[in-house]
Copies of this chain bind each other. A is one copy, B any other.
């Protein structure tokens, strides 16, 4: 197995479909090389090949969710790798749903013996495949577009545990109003995760800081003293009241 094979597989599975040219640019090799690597993969049936592009054989996500996953992908990957570095093998985590959290889950596959509670079936599935992890799926009835649960059972499961880190994302961030989300249920889950955690790790990419916030958004709980915020670019000085520079971690942009 070549070095790139792994990367191609995770890219195509993550994005559902990807062109040969895109892969060549992403991995910085010629398209001919991509074809050479892909041919045996196709014969083994791990990917499907059509004229010009690859298609995942295991689509886990629907177009809308995929679109959000692919939006600002590079930044989210950088943030996710950075979050994974903050987590030691053997520690316990609560993770919410969301595209950034999805990438965090991918990055966390490199950690061992984690205890994870999440209300996202996608994240639960991803991390339960890692040998040695203990994964708790919080909730029963799944929301349609992202497979996350917000029912009573979800809160009961979360409340029955205690974890070191709560890894959360936000829809947008406002200089004075703080971290915002669209749905009350998302905030409720976030609060439940914060309540059982020793530290919150907020993962937000730079686009969230510039969101004009025309949609009615609800405020998430405020940061605690030892919480951290992982970003791909430092937000402007306008946010220094909200986020203490000491709490800010800027992910290395690979």
Q: How far is the CA of A150 from the CA of B16 in the complex (A)?
A: 30
Residue pairs across A and B with Cβ atoms less than 8 A apart, 29 shown, are A1-B55, A2-B51, A3-B19, A3-B51, A7-B17, A13-B110, A14-B85, A44-B70, A45-B70, A46-B70, A59-B109, A60-B109, A60-B125, A60-B129, A61-B129, A62-B131, A65-B129, A120-B125, A121-B121, A121-B125, A129-B146, A131-B144, A131-B145, A134-B141, A135-B141, A135-B147, A136-B142, A137-B142, A153-B153
A33 at the interface (CB under 8 A from B): no
A74 at the interface (CB under 8 A from B): yes
- Interface residues of A, dominant DSSP: mixed
Copies of this subunit: 2
Q: How far is the CA of A61 from the CA of B122 in the complex (A)?
A: 11
Do residues B147 and A60 form an inter-chain contact, with CB atoms below 8 A? no
How far in angstroms is the closest Cβ of chain B from A146? Answer: 7
Return the chain B residue nearest A61 by Cβ.
B129
Interchain residue pairs A-B with the least CB separation, the first 7: A128-B147, A62-B129, A121-B125, A128-B142, A3-B53, A122-B125, A121-B124
A26 at the interface (CB under 8 A from B): no
Do residues B129 and A145 form an inter-chain contact, with CB atoms below 8 A? yes
